Amino acid sequence: MACGAVRAAEPLQVGSKRFTESYILGEILTQTARAAGQPAEHRPGMGGTAILFQALRAGAIDVYPEYTGTIAREILKLRQRSPDLRTLNLRLHRIGIEAGVPLGFNNTYAIGTRRSEAERLGIKRISDLARYPQLKFGFGHEFLGRRDGWPGLKAAYGLAQTPRGLDHGLAYEALAQGEIDAMDVYTTDAKILRFDIALLQDDRKFFPVYDAVLLYRRDAPNRFPAAFAAFRKLEGKIDAARMMQLNARAELDGRSFAAVATEFLSGHDSVKRRSLLAAVFAPDFWRLLREHVFLVLASLAAATLVGVPLGIAAAKLRAVAQPVLAITGLVQTIPALALLAFLIPVTGTIGLWPALIALFLYALLPIVRNTHAGLGGVPAGLRQAALALGLRRGTILAKIELPLAAPTLLAGIKTSAVINVGTATIAAFIGAGGFGERIVQGLALNDDVMLLAGALPAAGLALIAHVMFELVERAFAPRSR
């Protein structure tokens, strides 16, 4: 009975990718599950296909919205252009995954240009782009690396352009301002109409069908029967026009993803546009605050426990100093997203653990370097005097050197704390939570209000951390003197 109670209380983990439609569908699934009596958690904006699928296989999430073309080309590496669900599941079942519940719309890729530019140059088909190698392309980072993205498109159409990598949400603004001439779009994007974008004909039939489905672990329907019974009622309920309307609610009307999902499920619109104050102190504020503070404090505590001894070793042992300082400095040169992506396969999971390890590594250098510098600044005469009095080296370190080095050491911990508050926002890209969730969503929507709703609390936390360490340093200053 106890085991059954635990299983019944186990929350369904819903993932979503880092673009508007996936956020909305993730919220629809989460709210549908909760309405059916199943506790559910939405882990929004976890990244691209590779990260979401790896999270699904590892059990970090149970279900997320995906597209048949992506499953076929990107996940299963099939050459067949548009296989049906039965064909896909024959391969997916081997790895414990299943695709099902077609939602009712096909959201394929397309190449879009400004309509005025397309008419001026006489561009109607993708193959027409080959005549204009001077055109500037701007594609989403995932599209640039996908088999069904730029590499395959370039080969199929003989295109010679060198595209720039842009966030999908920002690419529309770049196209409208003339910074790029063509971009990849999803055919249900709401901004297609807003920016008067002409979709070029895929005359060589390169892009496959991308029917929206649910991708889930095979054991999930048995573990969460009520939720999946409710999910099956969504089958065929969202056509392309409706999905474009839902995307427009978020991208053009400034509604939150949760509000858009509620509107769809309830069948009526009762949500007003958010002010900045309302966006900052939205219902998820305290959850995001707890997650952000935990990421910073846990990683900082671990970095202090490891960094201070490393700094002491570097100060006391000349042979150790350069290797320790060089290695901790080298970590700082690794881009945060690259380090997070590397740690996912190393840890075998996404979210909390890769984020904590990355933040721990980034926090080491200021602590190690300042500990080393603080101990190096202790006058040699004091050590010699202490030795002459018969004090042991351990006592000298604990009673004389560390107290004198404390202000410099604390300055290093303060620097790490402030840096980690900002760096922790990147952790949202792999589903670790914190105020970075809002920043990621704001980028996806090109929503300044949402961006500020994430950036301002993070900046406030950094300021609070700075002030608190300043007070601690002042308290230590008289003692050290």
More confident residue, 7 or 218: 218
Report which of 75, 106, 100, 69 is spatially closest to residue 86, judged by C-alpha positions.
100
Cα gap 187→159, rounded to integer Å: 22
HEC states along 262-276?
Answer: HHHHHCCCCCCCCCH
pLDDT of residue 225: 96
Homologous superfamily of 109-199 in CATH?
Answer: Osmoprotection protein (prox); domain 2 (3.40.190.120)
Which residues touch 103 (CB under 8 Å, ≥6 apart)? 25, 65, 211, 212, 213, 214, 234, 235, 236, 237, 238
Structure tokens at 276: 């900045």
The fold of 2-106+210-273 is D-Maltodextrin-Binding Protein; domain 2 (3.40.190)
Structure tokens at 43: 């882990």
267-297 CB burial, b ≥16 within 10 A, e <16: eeeebeebeeeebbebebeeebeebbbbbbe
Consecutive H or E run containing 138: strand 137-139
**In the predicted structure, residue 9 carries a pLDDT above the cut 70:** no
CATH class of 285-480: mainly alpha
pLDDT digits (tens, 9 = 90+) for 57-107: 989 899 999 999 999 988 998 877 778 899 999 999 999 999 999 999 999
pLDDT digits (tens, 9 = 90+) for 136-155: 999 988 899 888 899 999 99
Which residues touch 278 (CB under 8 Å, ≥6 apart)? none
Angle of the 352-376 helix axis to the 318-332 helix axis, nearest 10: 140
pLDDT of residue 60: 87
How is residue 73 annotated by DSSP? I
pLDDT of residue 269: 59
Cα gap 476→44, rounded to integer Å: 43
Cα gap 360→355, rounded to integer Å: 8
**In the predicted structure, residue 11 carries a pLDDT above the cut 90:** yes
pLDDT of residue 344: 78
| Length in residues, the chain | 481
Q: Where are the domains of the chain?
A: 2-106+210-273, 109-199, 285-480
Question: What is the band of 477 on the pLDDT scale with cuts at 50, 70, 90?
Answer: low
**In the predicted structure, residue 458 carries a pLDDT above the cut 50:** yes
**In the predicted structure, residue 270 carries a pLDDT above the cut 70:** no
How is residue 135 annotated by DSSP? P
pLDDT of residue 5: 43
Task: Please state the pTM of the whole predicted model.
Answer: 0.74
Q: Of 318-332, 383-397, 422-436, which has the strongest mean pLDDT?
A: 318-332
pLDDT of residue 158: 95
Equal CATH topology for 2-106+210-273 and 285-480: no
